[in-house]
Amino acid sequence: MSHARATHLNRRGLLAAGGALGLGAALAACGDDKGKDGDSGKAAGSGKSGPWTFKDDRGTTVKLDKVPANIVAFTGVGAALYDYGVQVKGVFGPTKTTDGKADVQAGDMDISKLTVLGNAWGQFNIEKYASLAPDVLISTLFDDAGTLWYVPEESKKKIAQLAPSVGVSVYDRQLTQPLQRMWELAESLGANMKAAKVTDAKKRFEDAAARLRAAAKAKPEIKVMAGSASDQLFYVSGTNLSIDLEYFKSLGVNFVEPPESAKKQGGGWYESLSWENVDKYKADIIMMDDRTSAIQPAAITKATWKKLPAVKAGQVVSRSPEPILSYDKCVPLLTTLAEALEKAKKVS
C-alpha cells in the first residue's frame, strides 16, 4: 500500500502503509491466561525436550507438549531468531524485493529455503500455512491491543485456529525491552545464549550504546530528524511510540519533535508533510527509513529535499523503523547514528 491511500485506511492500515515511521498495529490473536508484560517462558531441558511454555507481551501463555519445531514468524522476527540459531520454516511480511533479493527485514536468512506466506501487507496464504503444520506463529505487536503485525484482519480467525501465537511488543517502549524479550524467546526455543557469537553481539551493543551516549553528550546542539519518503508526502516521526527513537532519546540524542496535534493523522507516530513544506523543521542530521516500501534518499528528486541543509551537507543516514530484534542487528543502528553525530556540523 502507498501513503497516497493513507487517508482511506483505518489506523492499523495507515501505520502499515509503507514508509510511516515506527508503524503500529495489526491483528488480534488468540490465547488466554492474562498476565503481566515481561514474564518470560521456559522450556524444559533447555528447549531440547519436554513441554514448552511461554508468556508473551499480551499476557497470553502458550503451552505445548514439546518445544516448537515448525515455527512460522513475521520476517523480522524470523531474522532475529536466526541470529540466535533458531530457524523458522515459514515467514510473512517483507521478505523478497522485486529483483528477487532478500529484503532488508530478512536479515541473514537464506530466503530460498523459506516458505513465504505473503510478501506484502494483506498477503497471507492460509493453505501454505496449514501445509507447514505450524506449532506456533510469532509476530510483533505495534499497539497495546494485542494485535499481531502483518496477520490480515480478514483472516486472523482462520489463522488462529491452526496454531497458537506469540506476540513480542515493540510499542511505546525502549529498544532494550523487546531485545530482551526476543532473547528470552530464543532461549526458550533452545538457542544457546552462552555461545560466543551471541554474548559478543550483546557486548558490542552495549559498547555502541555507550558510544552513542558520548556522541550525543558532546554535541547536544545537533538536531536529528527521523524521516520517511513517499511520492506525495514526507513523514516526520516523533520519538514517542517508536522503540529505536525512544531509546536513542534516552541516550541523549536531540530529536525534532512534531507536536501531538500534528501527529494525530498518523496515529500518534508521525506528521505528514507535503514536499513543499519539507523544510518545516530545522535539522542537522536526517535519519531516513531504510525499508523497501519507502523511497530511499538517493532516489529522491524533489528540489525542496535537495535544498535542505542536512542534505546539502551530506548528513543523511539510514534508519530501521522495524529493527531486527537481535543484538547483532541492532549494533549498526547505534553506530551509524553515533558516527553521524561525531562527524556532524551545525547546519540548521
The pLDDT profile of the chain, 348 residues, written as one tens digit per residue, is 333 323 223 434 444 444 334 333 222 223 333 333 333 333 333 345 689 999 999 999 999 999 999 999 999 999 999 999 999 999 999 999 999 999 999 999 999 999 999 999 999 999 999 999 999 999 999 999 999 999 999 999 999 999 999 999 999 999 999 999 999 999 999 999 999 999 999 999 999 999 999 999 999 999 999 999 999 999 999 999 999 999 999 999 999 999 999 999 899 999 999 999 999 999 999 999 999 999 999 999 999 999 999 999 999 999 999 999 999 999 999 999 999 999 999 999
Task: Write down the residue that cell numbers 505450524 correspond to.
Answer: 134
Q: Tell me the pTM.
A: 0.88
Using alpha carbons only, what angle is made at residue 95 by residues 6 and 126, rounded to the nearest 5 degrees? 80
Query: What local confidence, expressed as pLDDT, does residue 49 receive?
Result: 67
Phi/psi at 139 (nearest 5 deg)? -145, 180
Q: Nearest-CA neighbor of 248 among 21, 40, 56? A: 21
Q: Give CA–CA dist 189/69, Å, rounded.
A: 9
Q: Give CA–CA dist 65/62, Å, rounded.
A: 10
Query: What local confidence, expressed as pLDDT, does residue 50 receive?
Result: 80
The bridge status of strand 223-229 relative to strand 233-237 is antiparallel
Contact, 332 vs 340, CB < 8 A?
Answer: no
Q: Give CA–CA dist 165/148, Å, rounded.
A: 9
Helix, strand or coil for residue 204?
helix
Query: What local confidence, expressed as pLDDT, does residue 44 receive?
Result: 32
